[in-house]
Amino acid sequence: MKTSCQRPPSIPIILATILFSISCANSEEVNLHMFFRCLSNNSSPFHQVSQAIYTPNNASFLSVLNSYIKNPRFLTSATPKPLAIITAKHISHIQATVICAQRYGLEIRIRSGGHDSEGLSYVSNNPFLVLDMFNFRALHIDIASETAWVQAGATLGEVYYRIAEKSKVHAFPAGVCPTVGTGGHFSGGGYGNLMRKYGLSVDNIIDAQIVNVNGSILDRKSMGEDVFWAIRGGGGASFGVIISWTIKLVRVPSKVTVFHVSRTLEQNATNVVYRWQEVAHNLPKDLFVRAFLQAVDGSKEGKKMMLVHFIGHFLGKSESLLSLMNVRFPELRLQLDDCKEMTWIESTLFWALYPPGTPTDSLLVRPSKVNASSFITKSDYVKEPIPKTGLESIWKVLIKMGRNVWMQWNPYGGRMSEISESETPFPHRAGNIFKIEYYVEWVKEGTEATNHSRNLARTLYKVMRPYVSKSPREAFLNYRDLDIGIASSHHNRTVLMKSARVYGCKYFKGNLGRLMRAKTSIDPSNFFKNEQSIPPVGH
């Protein structure tokens, strides 16, 4: 029995185990053999890379792989598995992985938190390796300069907690799920309940470190402004390996106010939602009110009913919020008892659906259990209020689909309308009144259940077509959706660019061209790629 004091097998032992298990090595296995040798030769001798490698022959391989798979639909035996996982513990491990994988023709997938909706950070149909970044989780908060240095494997919960440790009046605008990794979240845009006040995560990033295709470590100055622009909203995995970010902290009051109220159709929900569409994006920047739409069990057995949740976040006291709502959004009939004052860090627990009284250090917990429900996400942007007749049609569809299908409507306006479409690759700015997230979840395993849920998502997406943006029908990169287009497997650059325009124009609109030029400057051979990556410009 292996004891805790025994060291993991060395590189030669790992190679011997792999080679012994095959009677006749094919080119893929030979390449993997050579990759491990290269990895050992190119890593720091003071940080043994052998302790960071997991292959299918290692008893811990599946537990390491599965621990950061946040979507159970990719836990099946049919899901392609990596040839190895490199759980980098030193920056030289990252550099060596890039250099050696490229040298021996192995694809890499880069995983920070494992929340990619389509599993692209840990799944590929080609022979591949997973470069796991969860050990790169260091943070340094500097309140004097109002900045923070954050490694890509740190979670949002860790970022929030460490900020609050140093200050009760500073925060950072990012998402509400505390286990999301900053590597993917920030590089895809990153939004949350502070976006109407301070914009997105990418609007508050002032420097970054990446490892490029040559294994070099670059910062903002050495990577150049075009690449620095590209990784702030264009998806970092197309350009290199994000190592760390330098972020600008934002000011918040010592107390904020949150609320969560619900309305049924009998409580005039249709009129309230219609009015929400008119006012939510026009409210003061300090106020964010999300609408959450879902069918739930009704009072009669077997009957469903619509329930709309309005969840608010206000940078101020409850009395000020109530006065504002009574004037600007009286239809919601918000009461003082609905409002809860708390510190900003306590509000992150509220938004993450922790029970009241949960200690703030819960934000540091990285759950070992995988989510119970598989899920599919999609996204849309809305430019004009959906008419009441349209809302009524949507209610009927949601009621028919049931409680495992829901929509989340997030208001825009405020700071989001002040930032140019081309300031970062994220183009969804002025002109949008809200963004939609579609979410379908299920517990039952098997292809039939997955296909059924996928069809539900596609049906709802089709139903919403008349009410959302057009030419292109815009989408949000952080809600990854392979239905809107997949990169060609062809190596011809013209073909690659043509396929990338299908999904790229929806994610990035007019910014796609600059993204492809940035890609060409830093990764002309297209080593960093996935099913929806940015290709280099063709010749």
405 vs 296: CA distance, rounded Å: 10
Is 479 catalytic? The answer is yes
For the chain, state the CA radius of gyration. 24
Catalytic residue among 122, 198, 479, 503: 479
**DSSP summary character for residue 181:** B
Contacts of 145 (CB under 8 A, 6+ apart): none
Helix H or strand E segment including 184: helix 182-187
Peptide bond connecting 472 to the previous residue in cis, omega within 30 degrees of 0: yes
- The gap between the terminal CA atoms of the chain, to the nearest Å, is 58
CA 258, distance to chain mean position in Å, is 24
CA dihedral 364, 370, 374, 376 (to 10 degrees): 40
The phi, psi pair for 488, rounded to 5°, reads -65, 145
6 vs 159: CA distance, rounded Å: 34
The two tokens of residue 356 are 């009241």
457 vs 423: CA distance, rounded Å: 32
Residue pointed to by tokens 């569809």:
397
Q: Residue 425: is it exposed, middle or buried by C-beta count within 10 angstroms (0-12/13-18/19+)?
A: buried
Which amino acids are annotated catalytic?
A: 479
